[in-house]
Chains A and B, each alone.
Chain A
């Protein structure tokens, strides 16, 4: 039987009108990396961007098809896909939607630790005047639920919040009551060093479905160096607390964070091995925040960003090897960036958002009712820098907080799309603006990117991750995707003899 086909003119003609879509580019290892407005990327041969600018990319070439698929250009047949690209941009920026989601309550400044880098101005454990009052808690809860977000997260921290356990109980009860009245979703987390956690406290947290976030800086010698306390037993108490919390609150309801001090830099593999030994499946290799006591004690805790980057790269290599051996361990900083690079979604991680997540996505209510744009801005206030104090719960509404001088001046510097050095950057859609970091480190919310530690770190980490993506090793990419999809590691492929 003869087969007939439509004649050639029935098929789409060669495009007559080819137009470029907005994109940024950079050069990586002899190639050009083109990134569109939604963060989708394409590695292309050197000279591609110039050819695009001069209209010299042939419509029948494979490169043309790739550029079209990645929304770098469009023609007669793909104009409707502009709507798709707009949807992708909106999806990537979903963090803007809904208003402030994370609300941090500093229930007390009291703490029995005296960590060199501590991000709060700790007070001795007996000074009750540094606890949040019921009136302040009530006002802060009301402001929290004034956020348009249909679901909010309440994080209780300190100092050491368990030292003010009665206040924790009060806040949780009131917040749940208000959530029901206002028909809002509510998640609750307690950030604690667990040193003072009793089984009764943990039982209460279990009953109230409260998650626990704790600190683990590495093996005993490092953790105890970083976190001095009477008895020099912070590590032993943390491990005991983690085990009891897992048993009582629930195994998956306990997470740990580490802080990288100068003492940590030579021990990245030991730190990671400690997380594996304690059966954690995520570790966040994050640099110390340049605020609070970390500035006062810079000699003991500070370091150059280049040293942190060596720490990060060595750590990531070790983590990948651990994953290759079959133990799933995600590195959270890489995971956040990979989510932005490889998936349509943004993340809730405040430091890497544009507009910056401070205030938009997080508010901090200090024990005395002062409201800050982030935990870092509260640390600055403890150093007598009140730049980012938006107001006080006893005299401000959500509207007045967000239209305060402090908020408006910060918002001006919150979009990396309009910042010098960022506006042309290929990594713009993966990165953030972080005006508070730049104010703290450079005395200028806009910041000077060529000398910014934030820019140095993110540029280096993103390029490092792109080197893995370009290499496209199936095993490494399988590990990355298991982190992104929260699924098991890919099965090892059989090797034929």
Chain B
């Protein structure tokens, strides 16, 4: 991710940020823009393959300085990229946990889709929970 100097910003634009999608995905970038939309209009364009450019145009209520805006944008984008990595590593076990949590509460009317087998559980079918592989 590379940020440009304020002097390169077009008229009305407080800051310009270039984003390398090898580091920050389009989804993470859009989530960052979503949170910046309180104070900025975020203009996103694909400048070249694998890269986007974001122009931050301040709204009248915005009090952020150009340097702060760029630093905060980059920090938030990197955090969203990090969240994506955590989600990718944990989404399967999250599905398993939620299925376990609610299957016993009577909330679910139908068997959840997918395979919810748990290695430990399958070795101990008389355990507390009864969700075994449905494959």
The interface of chain A, by Cβ under 8 A from chain B, is 19-25, 27, 37, 49-50, 52-53, 79-80, 82-83, 85-87, 89-90, 93, 96-97, 420-421, 424, 448-451
> B38 within 8 Å of A by Cβ?
yes
Instruction: Flag if A79 contacts B120 (CB, 8 Å).
Output: yes
Instruction: Flag if A82 contacts B100 (CB, 8 Å).
Output: yes
> B63 within 8 Å of A by Cβ?
no
Instruction: Flag if A19 contacts B105 (CB, 8 Å).
Output: no
Known: A22-B93, A424-B83. A87 touches B101 (CB 8 A): yes
> B31 within 8 Å of A by Cβ?
yes
Instruction: Flag if B89 contacts A20 (CB, 8 Å).
Output: yes
B 111-124 binary contact with A (CB < 8 Å = 1; else 0) = 00000001111000
> B71 within 8 Å of A by Cβ?
no
Return chain A residues, CB-CB under 8 Å to B129: 83, 86
The list of the 5 closest CB pairs from A to B, nearest first, reads A450-B38, A86-B100, A22-B94, A89-B101, A22-B90
Return chain A residues, CB-CB under 8 Å to B83: 24-25, 424
Interface size (B, Cβ < 8 Å)?
Answer: 35
B 65-103 binary contact with A (CB < 8 Å = 1; else 0) = 000000000000001101101110111011011101110
Return chain B residues, CB-CB under 8 Å to A90: 101-102, 104-105
Instruction: Flag if A86 contacts B101 (CB, 8 Å).
Output: yes
Instruction: Flag if A20 contacts B86 (CB, 8 Å).
Output: yes
Instruction: Flag if B105 contacts A96 (CB, 8 Å).
Output: yes
Return chain A residues, CB-CB under 8 Å to B106: 97
Return chain A residues, CB-CB under 8 Å to B107: 96-97
Q: What separation, in Å, do the CA atoms of A19 and B91 have in the docked complex?
A: 12
Q: A25-B79, A86-B100, A449-B34 are in contact. List 12 more A-B contacts (CB 8 A).
A: A20-B89, A22-B90, A25-B86, A37-B97, A37-B98, A82-B97, A82-B118, A83-B100, A89-B97, A90-B104, A96-B105, A451-B37
Q: What separation, in Å, do the CA atoms of A60 and B83 have in the docked complex?
A: 25
CB distance from A63 to the nearest CB of B (A): 16
Instruction: Flag if A421 contacts B34 (CB, 8 Å).
Output: yes
Instruction: Flag if A85 contacts B105 (CB, 8 Å).
Output: no
CB distance from A135 to the nearest CB of B (A): 34
Return chain B residues, CB-CB under 8 Å to A449: 34-35
Return chain B residues, CB-CB under 8 Å to A448: 37
> B135 within 8 Å of A by Cβ?
no
Known: A86-B97, A97-B107. A22 touches B91 (CB 8 A): yes
> B62 within 8 Å of A by Cβ?
no
CB distance from B101 to the nearest CB of A (A): 4
> B127 within 8 Å of A by Cβ?
yes
Chain A: which residue is nearest B36 at the CB level?
A: A450
Return chain A residues, CB-CB under 8 Å to B121: 83
Q: What separation, in Å, do the CA atoms of A96 and B101 have in the docked complex?
A: 12
CB distance from A452 to the nearest CB of B (A): 9
The interface of chain B, by Cβ under 8 A from chain A, is 31, 34-38, 79-80, 82-83, 85-87, 89-91, 93-94, 96-98, 100-102, 104-107, 118-121, 127-129
Cβ contacts A to B, 14 pairs, < 8 Å: A22-B90, A22-B94, A52-B86, A79-B119, A82-B96, A86-B100, A87-B101, A87-B128, A89-B98, A90-B104, A97-B105, A421-B35, A424-B31, A450-B34
CB distance from B89 to the nearest CB of A (A): 5
CB distance from A125 to the nearest CB of B (A): 45
Q: What separation, in Å, do the CA atoms of A23 and B127 have in the docked complex?
A: 26
Q: What separation, in Å, do the CA atoms of A449 and B34 have in the docked complex?
A: 9
CB distance from B48 to the nearest CB of A (A): 28
Return chain A residues, CB-CB under 8 Å to B93: 19-22, 82
Return chain A residues, CB-CB under 8 Å to B118: 82
Instruction: Flag if B90 contacts A85 (CB, 8 Å).
Output: no
CB distance from A448 to the nearest CB of B (A): 8
Chain A: which residue is nearest B95 at the CB level?
A: A22
CB distance from A100 to the nearest CB of B (A): 14
Chain B: which residue is nearest A71 at the CB level?
A: B97
Instruction: Flag if A37 contacts B38 (CB, 8 Å).
Output: no
Tell me which of B86, B118, B121, B129 has the highest count of chain A C-beta atoms within 10 A of its own C-beta: B86
Per a CB cutoff under 8 Å, which of A53, A83, A89, A424 touches B80? A424
Per a CB cutoff under 8 Å, which of B97, B102, B120 touches A22? B97
Per a CB cutoff under 8 Å, which of A24, A27, A85, A450 touches B35? A450
Q: What separation, in Å, do the CA atoms of A90 and B83 have in the docked complex?
A: 24
Instruction: Flag if A82 contacts B120 (CB, 8 Å).
Output: yes
Instruction: Flag if B86 contacts A53 (CB, 8 Å).
Output: yes
Q: What separation, in Å, do the CA atoms of A37 and B80 have in the docked complex?
A: 18
Return chain A residues, CB-CB under 8 Å to B89: 19-20, 53
CB distance from B77 to the nearest CB of A (A): 12
Chain A: which residue is nearest B131 at the CB level?
A: A86
Return chain A residues, CB-CB under 8 Å to B37: 448, 450-451
Q: What separation, in Å, do the CA atoms of A27 and B34 have in the docked complex?
A: 18
CB distance from A288 to the nearest CB of B (A): 22
CB distance from A282 to the nearest CB of B (A): 30
Tell me which of B82, B85, B101, B105 has the highest count of chain A C-beta atoms within 10 A of its own C-beta: B101
Return chain B residues, CB-CB under 8 Å to A421: 34-35
Q: What separation, in Å, do the CA atoms of A372 and B104 have in the docked complex?
A: 30
Return chain A residues, CB-CB under 8 Å to B90: 20-23
Return chain B residues, CB-CB under 8 Å to A25: 79, 82-83, 86
Chain A: which residue is nearest B78 at the CB level?
A: A50
Q: What separation, in Å, do the CA atoms of A101 and B58 have in the docked complex?
A: 46
Return chain B residues, CB-CB under 8 Å to A96: 105, 107
Instruction: Flag if A451 contacts B38 (CB, 8 Å).
Output: yes
Per a CB cutoff under 8 Å, which of B31, B86, B97 touches A49? B86
Instruction: Flag if B127 contacts A83 (CB, 8 Å).
Output: yes
Q: What separation, in Å, do the CA atoms of A217 and B133 have in the docked complex?
A: 58
